[in-house]
Structure 1
Amino acid sequence: MTISISHAEAPTHSLRALLPLWVFLAVYVLLLIAGNRLLLDPDTLWQVTVGQWIIDHHAVPQTDVYSFTMHGQPWISTQWLAQVMFAKAYAWAGWTGPVVLADLAVAATFALLARFLIARISESASVVFVSAALALTVPHLLARPHVLAMPFTILWIGGLIAAADRREAPSLLLLPWIVVWANLHGGFVFGLMIIGPIALDAVVRADAALRKPLLLRWAAFALAALIASFCNPYGWNALLAAAKILNLGSALPLIREWHAPDFSHLGALELCLLLGVGLALYRGVKLPPTRILILLGLVHMALAQGRAADVLALVAPLVLATPLAPQIGGSNGIAFDRVASRTPLFAGVALAMVAGTAAFASVHRFEPDMRSSPVAAVDELKKLDVARVFNDYDFGGYLIYRGVPTFIDGRTELYGEKFFVDHNAASGLMEPENLFRLLDQYHIQATLMRTQSAATKLLDHMDGWQKVYSDDIATIHLRKAGALHTREPAVDPKAK
């Protein structure tokens, strides 16, 4: 009887062990079909541009070369490797390249998450966690550096959690993941910071006699991880630059992706949180205190900043899997080594993916969404031969892509809190005097602002500024002595 049961379970275990592969394929196909959605963010344009600069100059940037307001000021790109990868992909296959590269990274992320979960909890529970994580991250799944870093988030934090589950210190073999992460995206700072809470979880739940030596081993690993993160072209400056973004103070709430989530309409985050609370109440779920603290910290981050929802989505399942296994159904172990021997299967899947991608790309054109970019306006702007243009913040990425020096762009850490806030107050006319001051202080020759912006409407009434181009997206005003306002009433910026 025992022999017959083991033979019956073997195929089932083997099929369950293939869940990460099916997740990889499903996510890849889904995002490939919706590929242009990965190109919705105009920041992708300047990421590719910076990557090509690095390739052309065989060096990473040390100072700003894209704006006229901060030209020559210290600026480093903590995302240099991702930018090079996107630039290479673009050079090789046009916009299909960045789409496929980002798609592969996202698919790999969820496959790794599924692999971690299926080794600890049931197949159905794993699918639920993966589906919830996908729903939470969809708004931020874009062809940008953070997406290429996502698989390493799973590898790094998953490795830390696995060590804590065993009441052990992490293996030094994890260190290459933080090295790669530190060269792909500034989010590696979070990877370093989370070592402390996970170490606390491991130490608190270990036997009393083992706590002190275990704490010392975790401390040694944390120090090694910190040193390993310096393995990038900028050394420890990359850590300081990444932290600088978090210290932008009042500027952060003004950036769309840093906004706190809006709960006026039911969204994925609210739905997942409500279902999670409902499950906990219904099943009487219990967690170790340290895991509760980590989970609450992740939830707080997601509630404070919308972009942290993907951190909650990817890390929370790793934190919850082992404690929940006895309560929602464990996996009874998975033999991944057997799956690894199925080379023909994986080779066939890879060939099918390549063929399918090539076929789809041949009939579907991948390109950024230019409906909100000032394409025609910049064409006209280039004819004016002006070098100092006051631009809308959202136009900065496109201007870098077109080779037009920017007043401001998405590299907020370069401009700093005060500059960003002043520009926002000027363009939105929260402080109209800021607009007049910035136009004079930086000797602005022309403005390129959204047609419906408050600053554009005001310039329509100002003598000395001539509207030379306007469409549904952008309007250009040219500084011109003697130019008369086009609408009543006139506004004299020099009037007291």
Structure 2
Amino acid sequence: MTMSATHSAEARRPLQGLLPLWGGVVVYALWFAAGNALLRDPDPYWQIAVGRWILDHHTVPTTDIYSFTMYGQPWISTQWLAQVLYAIAYAGAGWTGVVVLAVAALAVTMAVLTRFLDRRLPATATIIFVATALALMTPHLMARPHVLAMPVMVAWVAGLVTAMDRKTAPSFWLLPLMVLWANLHGGFVLGLMLIGPIGIDAIWHTPASAQRKMLLRWALFGIAALAASCVTPYGWDSLLASRRILNLGEALALIGEWRPANFDHAGPLELTVLVAFALALWRGIALPPMRVVLVMGFVFMALSHVRNAEVLALLAPLVLARPLGERIGFPDQPAAPAPSSPRGWLFAGLALCLIAITFVLGSVQRYAPVATGAPAAAVTELKKLNLSRVFNDYDFGGYLIARGVPTFIDGRTELFGTKLMVDHNNASGLMEPDNLFRLLKDYEIEATLLRTQSAATKLLDRVDGWEKIYSDDIATIHLRKPGALHSVAPAVKAN
């Protein structure tokens, strides 16, 4: 029996070491082939523009320089490092470079997750968790800073959970990850918040005689992590910026990714939650109390804002892996052996294959953001007018920044605040028609650049004082005529 178990472990060890590698390679190849799916959002335009500005000026922005409504107001970019990386990738290889960078980050994320799970769960369970994670993440997988921060997030939380599993304190070698995360994306605040519950679990399961010492070690680590998160060009302001975003209230509900989950349809998130609930009832899965708190917290985050599905997808498996592995009698596997000569050749061969795939697909496939967020022809006509006060559609803001046109509003929601966001939404959608004419008057708007099919565009087609000078399938420009009245009861042309 002993000999059989030994041979089984030895036979599995090569698979254990290679599963993360194969997972990363497959994810890279699949998502690079579908790279345009990562560019379906207009935000990369302004993210790259900010990164280019940082490279050109060798500093980070502290005030708004892109809009005319908030010009000169305090604004910081907590994603500055990711924006610089995207700007460098774009300068080197255009949108193909942006896709390669985002897909590489995603592949590393899944490889790190697979490596952690593969040492605690059977290969089949690991693959199921990873496949489910990809399905949950897909709606929010876009070439934006949060994707570059994903591998750091997984590695950070994996380090904390490993310490929890071993009933010890985290290594201070994790702190550089927090520094990197804090400069890549504002989500680093979650990493700080997780220190508390994970530390409580580790202390709880430590022998009573050693709990005070363990508490001190976790407290020191927490203080050090907080200090590490402030190692950014903005210092403490990076922490405050995340708070400002979460305090936007009803403005967040206007942005699709910040809306709560909708159980009116069966999407990946809804199905995952329901299946997990069914399995828990069927198999009677028991978890330690703090792990229950953590998993429920991830579920709550995902249900509150659909963009947080990636938190549930990537972090819940880390917390669940050890208890599930113990329940099915799967012992923790030792670390993968150091790369041998055959493994080294395999790694080199796979690297060459990925490079070849990148060059082949990059040369035959055209990568570009979705055209509906980039009204190129309309903006070209708009720039000929040399105007400085244009009332634009929210989704056009990123492209306007990239083209050097001052925006009325754009994707930097925390800058514009709740009131302006809500007013703009109600005006462009005509939920409150008076708002449209009030904003046009108060901000001395010279022209509008709105979606051709929007309600506001249809109204301006019939309002005296506004002339349609350009229109295509994406955007329409209305130019204010001299002496136009921006009243709450405008004259409307008869059909």
Which TM-score tier does this pair reach, normalised by the shorter chain? Answer: over 0.9
- Spell out, residue by residue over 1:37-56, the C-alpha distance to the aligned partner (whole angstroms, 9 max, x if none): 11111001111111111111
Answer yes or no: is the 8 Å Cα contact 1:388–1:445 preserved in 2: yes
Structure 2 match to 1:491 = 490
Change (3 A) 1:127 1:331: farther
Structure 2 match to 1:460 = 461
Deviation at 1:3, TM superposition (A): 5.4
Which residue identity lines up with residue 312 of structure 1 in the other structure? L
Rounded Cα–Cα distance in structure 1 between residues aligned with 2:172 and 2:193: 17
Answer yes or no: is the 8 Å Cα contact 1:461–1:491 preserved in 2: no
Deviation at 1:202, TM superposition (A): 1.3
Rounded Cα–Cα distance in structure 1 between residues aligned with 2:114 and 2:287: 21
- Spell out, residue by residue over 1:262-294, the C-alpha distance to the aligned partner (whole angstroms, 9 max, x if none): 222211111111221222222221101111111
Rounded Cα–Cα distance in structure 1 between residues aligned with 2:163 and 2:85: 32
Change (3 A) 1:388 1:292: same
Whether 1:22 aligns to 2:19 is no
Rounded Cα–Cα distance in structure 2 between residues aligned with 1:326 and 1:335: 18
Structure 1 match to 2:408 = 407
Rounded Cα–Cα distance in structure 1 between residues aligned with 2:218 and 2:243: 23
Q: Number of paired residues?
A: 489
Q: What TM-score, normalized to structure 1? A: 0.95
Change (3 A) 1:79 1:253: same
Deviation at 1:139, TM superposition (A): 1.0
Rounded Cα–Cα distance in structure 1 between residues aligned with 2:340 and 2:39: 34
Whether 1:356 aligns to 2:357 is yes
Answer yes or no: is the 8 Å Cα contact 2:13–2:336 preserved in 1: no
Structure 2 match to 1:429 = 430
Structure 2 match to 1:443 = 444
- Spell out, residue by residue over 1:414-470, the C-alpha distance to the aligned partner (whole angstroms, 9 max, x if none): 111111111112212222222122111111100111122222122122211111112
Structure 1 match to 2:169 = 169
DSSP-derived class of the 2:371 partner: coil
Rounded Cα–Cα distance in structure 2 between residues aligned with 1:218 and 1:84: 34
- Spell out, residue by residue over 1:335-379, the C-alpha distance to the aligned partner (whole angstroms, 9 max, x if none): 413347732221221111111211121211222221343222111
Where does 1:76-225 land on structure 2 (aligned, <5 Å)? 76-225=76-225
Rounded Cα–Cα distance in structure 2 between residues aligned with 1:343 and 1:62: 47
Structure 1 match to 2:368 = 367
When structure 1 is superposed on structure 2, of 330-339 and 250-259 the one drifting more is 330-339
Change (3 A) 1:482 1:248: closer
Rounded Cα–Cα distance in structure 1 between residues aligned with 2:195 and 2:284: 29
Answer yes or no: is the 8 Å Cα contact 2:16–2:336 preserved in 1: no
Structure 1 match to 2:42 = 42
Where does 1:50-65 land on structure 2 (aligned, <5 Å)? 50-65=50-65
When structure 1 is superposed on structure 2, of 334-343 and 468-477 the one drifting more is 334-343
Answer yes or no: is the 8 Å Cα contact 1:125–1:328 preserved in 2: no
Deviation at 1:328, TM superposition (A): 3.2
Rounded Cα–Cα distance in structure 2 between residues aligned with 1:340 and 1:71: 58
Answer yes or no: is the 8 Å Cα contact 1:121–1:329 preserved in 2: no
Deviation at 1:217, TM superposition (A): 1.4
Whether 1:393 aligns to 2:420 is no
Which residue identity lines up with residue 394 of structure 2 in the other structure? Y
Question: What is the CA RMSD across the aligned residues, in angstroms?
Answer: 1.8
Deviation at 1:16, TM superposition (A): 2.2
Which residue identity lines up with residue 41 of structure 2 in the other structure? D
Which residue identity lines up with residue 491 of structure 1 in the other structure? P
Rounded Cα–Cα distance in structure 1 between residues aligned with 2:258 and 2:376: 27
Structure 2 match to 1:318 = 318
Change (3 A) 1:304 1:4: closer
Rounded Cα–Cα distance in structure 2 between residues aligned with 1:180 and 1:399: 30
Rounded Cα–Cα distance in structure 1 between residues aligned with 2:203 and 2:106: 33
- Spell out, residue by residue over 1:196-241, the C-alpha distance to the aligned partner (whole angstroms, 9 max, x if none): 1111211222222222221221111111000001111111111111
Rounded Cα–Cα distance in structure 2 between residues aligned with 1:296 and 1:328: 22
Rounded Cα–Cα distance in structure 2 between residues aligned with 1:8 and 1:324: 20
Deviation at 1:2, TM superposition (A): 5.0
Where does 1:308-347 land on structure 2 (aligned, <5 Å)? 308-339=308-339, 342-347=343-348
Which residue identity lines up with residue 424 of structure 1 in the other structure? N
Which residue identity lines up with residue 348 of structure 1 in the other structure? G
Answer yes or no: is the 8 Å Cα contact 1:48–1:84 preserved in 2: yes
Structure 1 match to 2:238 = 238
Which residue identity lines up with residue 200 of structure 2 in the other structure? L
- Spell out, residue by residue over 1:177-204, the C-alpha distance to the aligned partner (whole angstroms, 9 max, x if none): 0100000001101111111111121122
Change (3 A) 1:154 1:6: same
Answer yes or no: is the 8 Å Cα contact 2:394–2:409 preserved in 1: yes
Rounded Cα–Cα distance in structure 2 between residues aligned with 1:295 and 1:289: 10
Rounded Cα–Cα distance in structure 2 between residues aligned with 1:4 and 1:204: 37
Q: What TM-score, normalized to structure 2? A: 0.95
Answer yes or no: is the 8 Å Cα contact 1:203–1:215 preserved in 2: yes
Deviation at 1:329, TM superposition (A): 4.5
Where does 1:228-267 land on structure 2 (aligned, <5 Å)? 228-267=228-267
Rounded Cα–Cα distance in structure 1 between residues aligned with 2:347 and 2:245: 41
Rounded Cα–Cα distance in structure 2 between residues aligned with 1:271 and 1:437: 44
DSSP-derived class of the 1:449 partner: strand
Rounded Cα–Cα distance in structure 2 between residues aligned with 1:329 and 1:455: 62
Answer yes or no: is the 8 Å Cα contact 2:51–2:86 preserved in 1: yes
DSSP-derived class of the 2:110 partner: helix
The answer for unaligned runs of 5 or more in structure 1 is: none
When structure 1 is superposed on structure 2, of 335-344 and 322-331 the one drifting more is 335-344
